[in-house]
Copies of this chain bind each other. A is one copy, B any other.
Amino acid sequence: MPEVLFRVDLNKPMEEQDTPGHNRWHPDIPATVSVNPGAVFRMECKDWTDGQISNNDDPSDIRDVNLNRVHVLSGPVWVNGAEPGDLLVVDILDIGALPQSEWGFNGIFAKENGGSFLVDHYAQAAKSIWDFHGIYTTSRHLPGVKFAGLLHPGLIGTAPSHQLLDRWNRRESDLVATNPERMPPLANLPTPHSAVLGSLKGAEFDRIAREAARTVPPREHGGNCDIKNLSKGTRIYFPVYVNGAKLSMGDLHFSQGDGEVTFCGGIEMAGWLDLHVDVIKGGMAKYNIVNNPVFKPGPVEPRYTEYLVFEGISVHETTGQQLYMDAHVAYRNACLNAIEYLKTAMGFTGEQAYMLLGTAPVEGRIAGIVDIPNACCTLSIPTSIFDRDILPK
């Protein structure tokens, strides 16, 4: 087992850990550890909410979650020799749940607390608990469903430079300014409330807590991409923006459907990552990887042969309004179509079917994005995750 460079105690909040992590992005959050290129090491992670959700049948903790606390991250890891302009090569050698915590949760966020992809259809909080059985998971809240995990970090990224951070804050506050009263809000702007910034204290803490970006959106450095295929064996090429690269990670999922549609969001768990890191000097310019990470998925993703696929187009589902090439709306319709089907085929409530789409390894595709005015998106569900034949007869 590789050396554990970051440990977590699940009974303590992130700021009380022996080595606290962080829940904001800022170039000046100090690294917790340094490694050389070529190093192999283990990072333990708390679940993204810092332990706010309990293994029970009551969704009130989902409804009342403090989102200023998310996502609690492990790191930053300083990689010796990494400099701006390099590529940081990160291999996800393995991922697992913590032995004392082999379960996870999925939740539909309430409209007043961020909402979710289908917030106008499912505005109330809901929760499902998933138990892990080796490679498999099941939920007492979704009977008739069993699948193998596709474990991945929902969030992993390098630290932004000051310049990049400024760009993030500017563009996101510009967006919020277009409709500042919107609920849920258009973006989460910096706030010191519930900030955790590693070992920082005092005036430096206050300054950085005011400036640091929230962790919710994916951005140029990677971050909260929620890409389900960043699983075991994946190699990621990250842009490096600061000396040492300052890699952080968290928000581990046992599984997730494309889109992470319920927002909370995959099967959220505490766990560990075994990582190998390396550096390609000057790699950003050499390979034209300048805007976002690039990655190569690993070879052990669960295999499926048979999918049932639902389509959606960019016509508003309630008003009937024609939208122009709107892949967001098209995918929403594909999800709604699938939910209606699963109500009949599996006897699910809408909430159960919705949580299935958030947790099971469903694939969300942009099929056609040029056939004006309708984008066409598809949602593919592997049929072997169900205990019965769900095909039309």
* Count of chain copies: 4
Within 8 A of B (CB), among A261-319: 261-263, 265, 274, 276, 280, 283, 286-313, 315
Residues of B within 8 A of A165 (CB): none
Interface presence of A393 (CB below 8 A): yes
Contacting pair A321 B171 (CB below 8 A):
yes
A374 contacts chain B at the CB level, 8 A cutoff: yes
Chain B residue numbers with a CB within 8 Å of A368 are: 218, 224-227, 259-260
Contacts A171-B321, A341-B288, A367-B226 hold; do A218 and B280 have CB atoms under 8 A apart? Answer: no
- Do A303 and B307 touch across chains, with their CB atoms under 8 A apart? no
CB–CB B311/A392 < 8 A:
no
Question: Does chain B have a CB within 8 A of A202?
Answer: no
- Asked if B302 contacts A300 (CB within 8 A), the reply is yes
Cα A366 to Cα B377 in complex, Å, equals 9
Choose one: B172, B367, B374, B392; the contact of A259 (CB below 8 Å).
B367
Interface contact A322-B259, CB-CB below 8 Å: no
Chain B neighbourhood of A366, CB < 8 A: 258-259, 327, 331, 364-366, 377
The residue that A311 contacts in the complex, of B292, B383, B391, with Cβ under 8 A, is B292
Enumerate chain B residues within 8 angstroms of A201, measured Cβ to Cβ.
none
Give Cα A368–Cα B297 distance, bound, in whole angstroms. 17
List of B residues within 8 angstroms of A114 by Cβ: 372
A102, CB-defined interface residue at 8 Å: yes
Task: Say if the beta carbon of A237 comes within 8 Å of chain B.
Answer: yes
Q: Which of A10-18, A22-30, A72-80, A180-188 contacts B (4 or more CB under 8 A)?
A: A180-188
The answer to whether B187 touches A370, judged by C-beta atoms less than 8 angstroms apart, is: no
Nearest CB in chain B: distance from A176 CB, A: 9
Contacts of A174 in B (CB 8 A): 321-322
- Residues 345-393 of A at the B interface (beta carbon under 8 Å): 345, 363-378, 380, 383-384, 389, 391-393
Contacts of A116 in B (CB 8 A): 370
Q: Which of B102, B305, B324 contacts A303 (CB 8 A)?
A: B305
Contact of A299 among B148, B262, B378 (CB under 8 A): B148
With beta carbons under 8 angstroms apart, the residue of B188, B259, B292, B321 that contacts A333 is B292
Interface residues of A in 27-85 (CB under 8 A from B): 40
Q: Does A123 touch B at the CB level, under 8 Å?
A: no
The verdict on A172 contacting B312 (CB below 8 Å), with A134-B93, A302-B299, A343-B288 known, is no
Q: Is A229 engaged at the interface, CB distance under 8 Å to the other chain?
A: yes
Which residues of A in the span 181-228 have a Cβ within 8 Å of any Cβ on B? Answer: 184-188, 216-220, 222, 224-228
Additional pairs, 19, CB under 8 Å, beyond known A226-B367, A259-B366: A93-B133, A93-B136, A117-B370, A134-B274, A148-B233, A172-B322, A174-B322, A175-B373, A226-B368, A229-B378, A262-B370, A289-B392, A294-B309, A294-B311, A295-B311, A299-B304, A326-B328, A366-B366, A366-B377
By a beta-carbon cutoff of 8 Å, the part of chain A in contact with chain B is 1, 40, 87, 89, 91-94, 99-100, 102, 114, 116-117, 133-136, 148, 167, 171-172, 174-175, 184-188, 216-220, 222, 224-229, 232-233, 237, 258-263, 265, 274, 276, 280, 283, 286-313, 315, 320-328, 331, 333-334, 336-337, 340-341, 343-345, 363-378, 380, 383-384, 389, 391-393
Q: List 20 A-B contacts (CB under 8 A).
A: A136-B233, A171-B315, A171-B321, A175-B322, A186-B372, A217-B313, A217-B372, A217-B373, A227-B367, A227-B368, A229-B378, A237-B392, A258-B365, A259-B366, A263-B370, A292-B334, A295-B308, A299-B303, A325-B328, A365-B365
